[in-house]
Amino acid sequence: MTVTIALFTRDLRVHDNPVLTAAHREGASVVPLFVIDDAIAAGRFASPNRARFLAAALAELDAELRAIGGRLVVRRGDVGTEVDRIAAQVHAESVHIAADVSGYSRRREQALRERLARRDCLLHTHAASITAADPEVLVPSTGRDHFAIFTPYFRRWSEAHQRKPLGKPRGLTVPEVASEPLPEAEQLRAGPTSPQLAVGGETTGRKMLRDWLSGPIEAYEDRNDYLAADATSRLSPYLHFGCVSPAELVHRVDMSTAGGHAFARQLAWRDFHHQLLAARPDAAWSDYRPRSIGWRDDPQAVAAWRDGRTGYPVIDAAMRQLLAEGWMPGRARLITASFLAKSLRVDWRVGADHFLRWLVDGDLANNQLNWQWVAGTGTDTRPNRVLNPLRQAKRYDPDGEYVRRWVPELAHLSGAAVHMPWRANIDPAVYPAPIIECVGM
């Protein structure tokens, strides 16, 4: 009897999962496996928020697998060692895994391939599992290995053939393999978490997907930048962990509508950043386009930014939302990142680290390369642009509703006046004066 292993990584779903589908087609029985990677759990990128989301996502994945006759096998340790042990035990002929783009995932894949080859077990990688498009396919006609500007990439991405979503397997047979219990969040990464964190998992994510496509997406183009509107899909954590398939999402979005086109453009940005990181893994921490920027070392200013005490209400509201929810809308990310990197002139890596600590959707491709875009070291064609927080607040929170939601000590200020509390003679012990004077658009 042919046995295969479906190794889950950032594709925690049974719907439209090329890894699980291929393993099921090839093997009479399948080991659906997730390895809690000690190198990641103990590394600098580990986050209590993402650990909590991951624990819930694994529980929902196990439930989805059980609904089709399977179960999730959980191991902990070195990925290569644990996969090799199971492959030896069940005499697996192949292992299937989603292709990923970070330097670590590439090294993991190569080490796993070499180790399995010693027992004549093949490793198959599957593109367009973590992204909608294969990062290695949509390349410029110039011969370069990646697009450096988004607009031509999006044009090619929009015209490219997108694979059709795969159905979930109708039934699985899982051989007798020992499994550790499904982990609790604290077993993955201990530490304080955001009190209003979203619940992870495919079941939850697919319900959100259905709700989003049933109507709210139609207003996306007009409303997504308005901070108080909460008019974004909030699907980014589910895309990050693969609870929702990016390929299926693109397939189901109607790009002929204004809202659908604008939303698909954001999905293309996600693919664009994954392609860039695949070509330049060092861009996770090194400037993609080096610039002679004199970064400032200002611990007090950084602390004020992290805690939401800069004296600019829109900045402080966004940073407090990050701590409370482990998430904030894209416009808020742009404004707060510009404030740190362009107004305070603090190294973008300091901000990227803080975002990775709290963002439940934080990953190297999107987080780091968005920070570089804002800081002027990335792919922005206008690297010197600066977002003035007051002008941004008046444009995207004109009535002050967003600020009053997250900065309650200013809730008594009406309308746009909440964005300029210094005019209301607020006691600095209640709310601080601006830590700097800002310029920009």
On whether residue 409 sits in a domain, the answer given is: yes
On whether residue 208 sits in a domain, the answer given is: yes
Pair (80, 213) in one structural domain = no
On whether residue 308 sits in a domain, the answer given is: yes
Token code pair at residue 291: 């610039």
* pLDDT on residue 376: 96
Residue of 336, 440, 346, 337 lying closest to 385 (CA atoms): 440
On whether residue 294 sits in a domain, the answer given is: no
CA distance 397 to 402: 6
CATH code where residue 151 lies: 1.25.40.80
On whether residue 172 sits in a domain, the answer given is: no
CA distance 438 to 310: 12
Pair (140, 123) in one structural domain = no
On whether residue 436 sits in a domain, the answer given is: no
Q: Name the pTM for this structure.
A: 0.97
Q: pLDDT (tens digit, 0 to 9) for every residue of the chain, 441 residues total?
A: 799 999 999 999 999 999 999 999 999 999 999 999 998 888 888 899 999 999 999 999 999 999 999 999 999 999 999 999 999 999 999 999 999 999 999 999 999 999 999 999 999 999 999 999 998 888 898 889 999 999 999 999 999 888 899 999 999 999 999 999 999 999 999 999 999 999 999 999 999 999 999 999 999 999 999 999 999 999 999 999 999 999 999 999 999 999 999 999 999 999 999 999 999 999 999 999 988 889 999 999 999 999 999 999 999 999 999 999 999 999 999 999 999 999 999 999 999 999 999 999 999 999 999 999 999 999 999 999 999 999 999 999 999 999 999 999 999 999 999 999 999 989 999 999 999 987 765
Pair (219, 314) in one structural domain = no
Residue of 88, 85, 115, 96 lying closest to 30 (CA atoms): 96
Token code pair at residue 124: 């198959």
Contacts 24+ apart (CB under 8 A), 39-42: 39/78, 39/79, 39/104, 40/104, 41/188, 41/189
CATH code where residue 348 lies: 1.10.579.10
| C-alpha dihedral, 50 to 54 to 57 to 62, nearest 10° | 180
Number of domains in the chain: 3
Residue bearing tokens 């925690």? 12
Pair (137, 275) in one structural domain = yes
On whether residue 219 sits in a domain, the answer given is: yes
Contact 321, 194 (CB under 8 A): no
Contact 258, 265 (CB under 8 A): no
* pLDDT on residue 322: 98
User: Which residues neighbour 437 within 8 Å (Cβ) at sequence distance 6 or greater?
Assistant: none
Contact 19, 251 (CB under 8 A): no
DSSP secondary structure of 413-441: S-GGGGG-GGGGT--TTTSPPPSS-----
On whether residue 118 sits in a domain, the answer given is: yes
* pLDDT on residue 441: 57
Pair (110, 10) in one structural domain = yes
CA distance 62 to 182: 9
Pair (330, 405) in one structural domain = yes
CATH code where residue 75 lies: 3.40.50.620
Token code pair at residue 378: 């990335």
Pair (358, 379) in one structural domain = yes
Q: Is 165 helix (H, G, I), strand (E, B) or coil?
A: coil
β-partners of residue 160 are none
20-35 per-residue burial string, b: 16 or more CB within 10 A, e: under 16: bbbbbebbebbbbbbb
Pair (238, 367) in one structural domain = no
Task: State the residue range of the domain holding 142.
Answer: 131-162+203-279
| End-of-domain residue from the set 114, 129, 144 | 129
Pair (218, 89) in one structural domain = no
Length of the chain, in residues? 441
Pair (136, 275) in one structural domain = yes
Contact 317, 402 (CB under 8 A): yes
Pair (140, 13) in one structural domain = no
Sign of CA dihedral 151, 99, 43, 62: positive
Pair (324, 379) in one structural domain = yes
β-partners of residue 98 are 126
